[in-house]
Amino acid sequence: MKRSPSRASVRQLAGLLGIAVAALSGCALPQAQPDLTRFYVLAAAPAKTAAAPAEKRWQLGLRPVEAPPYLHNRAMVVRLGANEVRFAEESRWAEPIEAGVARVLRETLEARADVERVVPVTANAETPRDCDVLVRLQRCEGARDAGVARFVATVEIYAPGDRPGRVARETVSVEIPGWDGRDFADLARKLSAAVDQLADRTVALLPPKS
């Protein structure tokens, strides 16, 4: 014969349930935190208005942009010292920095009056062109103490063909003042302007047309 629980057992069980309910009501469940991550891109500057020269314009090949491994991180880089950087995890590039620099450099070069077109160059590229451009990125960051956006890249110009040779090389260093150390949208704008200056120097390095 099945025995019914005693009144004391029922009261004890009810008391335990009451304690459990009180404990749960006093514990606030953790609330989901909003995602504060923001994503940024480099952007080409407005085209410069200038009359195209009479002679044939340049057809350029753009090789893949190279960058040191620490710039492969999507987080934007803040320089704290000569040997110290911080990754701004909540302020990130929306694309690999090599791809962003290549995209904007191509757009800004093609906006120059003396450049007809810029084509991406791969190992087996056969598109006719006058010169190839190679960019090795070294710095693309904000320097908080100095209050600047800093961009450093080495640009090399190569003659295409079966026996390509380097015809020009220059390290372009750009520092644009006015960064407050907090506005990463402004940092992206300033680094975009630095790529525009890189395009100017690239055109200046092109050899005289034969």
Name which residue leads in pLDDT, 122 or 207. Answer: 207
Number of domains in the chain: 1
Examine residue 5 and state whether it is found in any structural domain, yes or no.
no
Examine residue 63 and state whether it is found in any structural domain, yes or no.
yes
| pLDDT in the model for residue 9 | 61
The model's pLDDT over 35-65, given as tens digits with 9 standing for 90+, comes to 889 999 999 987 665 555 546 589 999 999 9
- Residue 122: domain span: 57-205
| pLDDT in the model for residue 46 | 79
Burial 165-192 (b: 16+ CB within 10 A, else e): eeebeeebebbbeebeeeebebbbbbbb
Residue 206's nearest CA partner among 149, 155, 153 is 155
Instruction: Please tell me whether residue 50 adopts helix, strand or coil conformation.
Output: coil
Examine residue 44 and state whether it is found in any structural domain, yes or no.
no
Residue entry with tokens 């609330």: 31
Mean pLDDT of 139-158: 97
**Which amino acid appears at position 23 of this protein?**
A
Examine residue 201 and state whether it is found in any structural domain, yes or no.
yes
- CATH number, domain at 177? 3.40.50.10610
